[in-house]
Amino acid sequence: MTGSARPTLLLTAFGPFGGESYNPSEHALGPAAEAAAPSARVLTELLPVEFDTASTRIRHLIRTHRPDVIVSLGLAAGRGAITPERVAINLAEARIPDESGAQPVGRPLREAAAPAHFSTLPLSAMAAAIADAGAPAVLSYSAGAFVCNAVMFAGLDEIAALRAEDPTAPEAVAGFIHVPQVGDGGVTQAEITHALIAAVLAAVEHRGEPPVPAGTGDPDTTVPGVGATQ
């Protein structure tokens, strides 16, 4: 962990979308924030499932509050495990319309931005914490190209912009965790919530560590972007 000061943690999640009536990330947001409160100053936000509004909102939150750790949560229906994401791509490509009706295809999220941003969260430590909590956990290399990916990209891109403006400023760590729909792979809401609490606590405790320490890569941790992802 870098530094001894109590860090600021920004947690975000989404509500139901795309015909789903339930989003487990929304129901885990409050408990995760409560569990992290003793070790961090916690901010929470339920983002709209809209490309432009959600991206603008997380950029505003980061620029206004300068959090040290940003963990965003979202649903990836069809996956059978909790999947911390490794990379966000500069692409908006929607299989279904977002909640505003927008359905971009082949559009960059931000012109002239990097083609991708890699998570800076301590992913290995987080995946280990999820597994220790009794839930299936694998690293994912595809956050899709819907709103979850857009939010992850916007958060990391905003951190990069702030660093470019002031290279001496402390650099926040940020990333995204996808969760399965309740029932997928037999996973319950209680198991998802318990696992996300463990992951968020690990993100705070191990912030500053490499996302995937050298020599620990495992090709079997790749999870393709299947099912409905935000």
pLDDT tens profile 27-84: 999 999 999 999 999 999 999 999 999 999 999 999 999 999 999 999 999 999 999 9
What pLDDT does residue 53 have? 98
Token reading at 193: 């919530």
Sign of the CA dihedral with 69 first, then 166, 211, and 95 last: positive
- Which parts of 30-82 are beta strand (E)? 41-47, 69-75
pLDDT digits (tens, 9 = 90+) for 70-107: 999 999 999 999 999 999 999 999 999 999 999 999 99
> Which residue is listed with tokens 């979202």?
74
> Which residue is listed with tokens 């000061």?
5
Task: Answer whether residue 226 shows pLDDT above 50.
Answer: no
Alpha-carbon distance of 53 to 163, in angstroms, equals 23
What pLDDT does residue 215 have? 60
What pLDDT does residue 221 have? 43
What pLDDT does residue 20 have? 85
Task: Answer whether residue 5 shows pLDDT above 90.
Answer: no
What does pTM read for this prediction?
0.92
Side chain identity at residue 160, one-letter code: A
Asked whether the beta carbons of 195 and 137 are under 8 A apart, the reply is: yes
Alpha-carbon distance of 57 to 47, in angstroms, equals 8
To which CATH superfamily is domain 8-217 assigned?
Answer: Peptidase C15, pyroglutamyl peptidase I-like (3.40.630.20)
How distant is the alpha carbon of residue 196 from its chain centre? 11
What pLDDT does residue 18 have? 86
Alpha-carbon distance of 94 to 186, in angstroms, equals 28
Bridge partners (DSSP) listed for residue 177: 73, 84
Asked whether the beta carbons of 103 and 96 are under 8 A apart, the reply is: yes
Whole-number average pLDDT of the chain: 91
Enzyme catalytic residues: 85, 148, 178
Sign of the CA dihedral with 16 first, then 224, 81, and 1 last: negative
Q: Which residues lie below 8 Å from residue 67, measured CB to CB, with a gap of 6+? A: 7, 8, 9, 10, 43, 61, 172
